[in-house]
Amino acid sequence: MTIRESGPGGAAQQTQQETNMNTTTSSNIIPGPSSSGQAGLPSANPSASYWLQPSDVSQRLDDYRSTPDLPQSADTVIVGSGITGAFAAWFLLEQTGGTKVVVGSGSGAGAEAGKEEEHSSSGGKDILMLEARRQPCSGATGRNGGHCQPYVYSASTPSIAEFELATYQFLKGFVAEHGIAGTVDWRTLRVVHAYLTEEVWEGAQALVEKLPEGLRGQVELVDDETSRKGKEGGGETLTLRDLRVLRAKGAVVQKHAASLWPWKLVVWVLERLLERFPVRNGTGTGEEGFNLQTNTPVLGLERLGDGKWTVITSRGNIKANRVLLAMNGYTSNLLPEMKDLIVPVRSQVASLQPPRDAANGKVAELDYSYAFVSEEEFPRDEYLMQRPLPGGELIYGGARSHAENKAVGVWQDDEVERGVATYLRQNLAPYPLDLTLDKTGSTPTDTPTEGNETTELEATHQWTGIMGFSRDSSPWVGRVPESLGGGDNLYICAGYTGHGMPQAALAARMIVEEITGKPFADDGLKLPQEMALTEERVRWVRENTKTLLKEQQQAPEWSATMPELLTATERRA
């Protein structure tokens, strides 16, 4: 496998192709990347993510276009095919009622293509999904850490914690209802947040103490003191050794979390929609159905007098009744007015080979997923989940404090940074994580008794992806006001600050409810007000919070990589 690494200052230059894409149109409102932090278009040759390995699904969906030509018009255009775009399309189409219509034997890319005789009607609505790259879901969702863990004690407010828990439960139920746990490698587990220094451990305990009653039961604190008291009380108590983080100062164990193959979940959703809501006649004039077009970067948006929008793409223009921007870290490419509100930040991940027992070839099986937090010269904010055995690869990401300028403002994911890559390979085991087979301190990696020794692990893949950091750490969900380059019928759902898996699916439902004016279910779910895009919030945020990029330029010593588990609360405080 070829890995393109950049050294210090090695952020990739925009490719000629991308440069061309930004200039090949007559519109005068085409935004282009600038030195002020505006994102460019997704890189044409992204680094090789573990999750995007060639498969039968990728064979069906790479370069996929439902119709050879773009339609000239569409009811709804969704820009972006990650988890946000996919679930928005899902809720939009599901909400129409899904009447069954006989259309003959199925065709197209659906997994069940050719098997079903009936398809659901899209209720006269057509959805056009535009994806810049050749692979659907090849942005952050196809390049992340494979974690879905709601923040409970580390969420910025209890209502966001509740929303994340609801999203997690929704995804868990969705996977169960459709019988796809195996397909998407969904594994329900608990997550361990290991705090490696006293200062951050004290901070974490303080956050847990402040939790409202209803959320307190979701987390357990573990340190030497709780283990001792538990033993004295004669009960069963978790110890740091049980958690494999013997040398941490303490750990918070969260009840609800999961690991999964996020790309597989999203492409399952996309294939289901393609199969159930096929484009009817394929003549490219705004037919009803779900139309997915890859290799189609959106270059600009133009507001029309009748409240509709012209979506300008590399392949022609489309007139849309409404547009939903599901571009996350790339948002400011089309909405430069939001470049201080959603900042692209690059994150890096490695798939590491776990140490194998020399005698039997076995690897340790982890019962938990992990986050490692410390606040030292180089703050730690790494996250880890394990792939199923027998491979048991360790998907290990983070370490942005080792990236050039903490990778803030970087929207190119075609390179990995050498310093981060080396750090990730060298700083997992035996400290902070004990990878012995039986947690008792034997082969293949000995638990250190002192010091923070490490063993270099071999990487099968090393890759980067682009997150969308929100200025106040909450996503932006709603109609885009004129002051931000929007107007009626332009919507956004983005800015998850590196934490979209337990937010995006239900955030997508919330934006669909706003678009259609109809609740999807009678369950009382509401968008937390902290996530709503209102002019008042924009004003408040601009007056009261730091701009990630300005902060970087004016005070380079400021850490934009506060351990992300604590960032939300601290920035609001």
Ligand X SMILES: Cc1cc2nc3c(=O)[nH]c(=O)nc-3n(C[C@H](O)[C@H](O)[C@H](O)COP(=O)(O)OP(=O)(O)OC[C@H]3O[C@@H](n4cnc5c(N)ncnc54)[C@H](O)[C@@H]3O)c2cc1C
Between 404 and 444, name the residue whose CB sits nearer to ligand X.
404
Stretch that binds ligand X, among 82-90, 223-231, 438-446, 531-539 (CB under 6 A): 82-90
Site string (376-395) toward ligand X, x via CB under 6 A: -------x------------
Q: Residue 556, Cα to own-chain centre: how many angstroms?
A: 27
Q: How far is the CB of 82 from ligand X (least distance, A)?
A: 2
496 is an interface residue for ligand X by CB under 6 A: yes
Axis-axis angle for helices 262-276, 83-95 (nearest 10): 30
Among 14, 73, 81, 470, binds ligand X (CB under 6 A): 81
Q: How far is the CB of 474 from ligand X (least distance, A)?
A: 12
Give the pairing type, strands 394-397 and 187-195.
unpaired
33 is an interface residue for ligand X by CB under 6 A: no
Q: DSSP letter string over 149-167? A: ---STTSSSHHHHHHHHHH
| H helices, E strands: number in the chain | 14, 23
* CA–CA separation, 61 and 115 (whole Å): 18
First CA to last CA distance, the chain: 45
CA 280 → CA 73, 119, 285, 290, 543, distances in Å?
14, 11, 11, 9, 50
Phi and psi (nearest 5°) for 532? Answer: -75, 140
* CA–CA separation, 461 and 49 (whole Å): 7
Which residues have CB under 8 Å from 15's CB, separation 6+?
Answer: 43, 44, 45
Site for ligand X in 227-246 (CB under 6 A): none
Q: DSSP letter string over 86-98? A: HHHHHHHHHHT--
Among 347, 386, 447, 489, binds ligand X (CB under 6 A): 347
Total chain residues near ligand X (CB under 6 A): 47
Q: How far is the CB of 145 from ligand X (least distance, A)?
A: 3
330 is an interface residue for ligand X by CB under 6 A: yes
CB distance 30 to 312 below 8 Å: yes
Site for ligand X in 40-69 (CB under 6 A): 41-42
Stretch that binds ligand X, among 6-14, 75-83, 214-222, 440-448 (CB under 6 A): 75-83
Q: How far is the CB of 383 from ligand X (least distance, A)?
A: 6
* Other residues' Cβ atoms within 10 Å of the Cβ of residue 232: 9
Q: How far is the CB of 342 from ligand X (least distance, A)?
A: 10
Stretch that binds ligand X, among 223-231, 321-329, 481-489, 540-548 (CB under 6 A): 321-329
Of the candidates 150, 221, 262, 128, the residue with the CA atom closest to the CA atom of residue 565: 150
Site for ligand X in 475-494 (CB under 6 A): 494
* CA–CA separation, 535 and 479 (whole Å): 10
504 is an interface residue for ligand X by CB under 6 A: yes
* CA–CA separation, 100 and 106 (whole Å): 13
Between 33 and 502, name the residue whose CB sits nearer to ligand X.
502
In the DSSP assignment, the letter for residue 51 is: G
500 is an interface residue for ligand X by CB under 6 A: yes
Stretch that binds ligand X, among 9-17, 146-154, 268-276, 537-545 (CB under 6 A): 146-154
95 is an interface residue for ligand X by CB under 6 A: no
Q: How far is the CB of 422 from ligand X (least distance, A)?
A: 17
Which residues have CB under 8 Å from 237's CB, separation 6+?
Answer: 222, 226, 227, 229, 230, 231
Between 120 and 144, name the residue whose CB sits nearer to ligand X.
144
Q: Which token pair is 203? A: 């901070």
335 is an interface residue for ligand X by CB under 6 A: no
31 is an interface residue for ligand X by CB under 6 A: no
Between 141 and 489, name the residue whose CB sits nearer to ligand X.
141
Site for ligand X in 525-564 (CB under 6 A): none
Give the pairing type, strands 454-455 and 459-470.
unpaired
Between 277 and 383, name the residue whose CB sits nearer to ligand X.
383
Stretch that binds ligand X, among 144-152, 208-216, 240-248, 556-564 (CB under 6 A): 144-152
Among 50, 120, 128, 131, binds ligand X (CB under 6 A): 131
Between 147 and 537, name the residue whose CB sits nearer to ligand X.
147
The residues binding ligand X (CB under 6 A) are 41-42, 79-85, 130-133, 138-141, 143-148, 297-298, 326-330, 333-334, 347, 349, 383, 397, 465-467, 494, 496, 498-502, 504
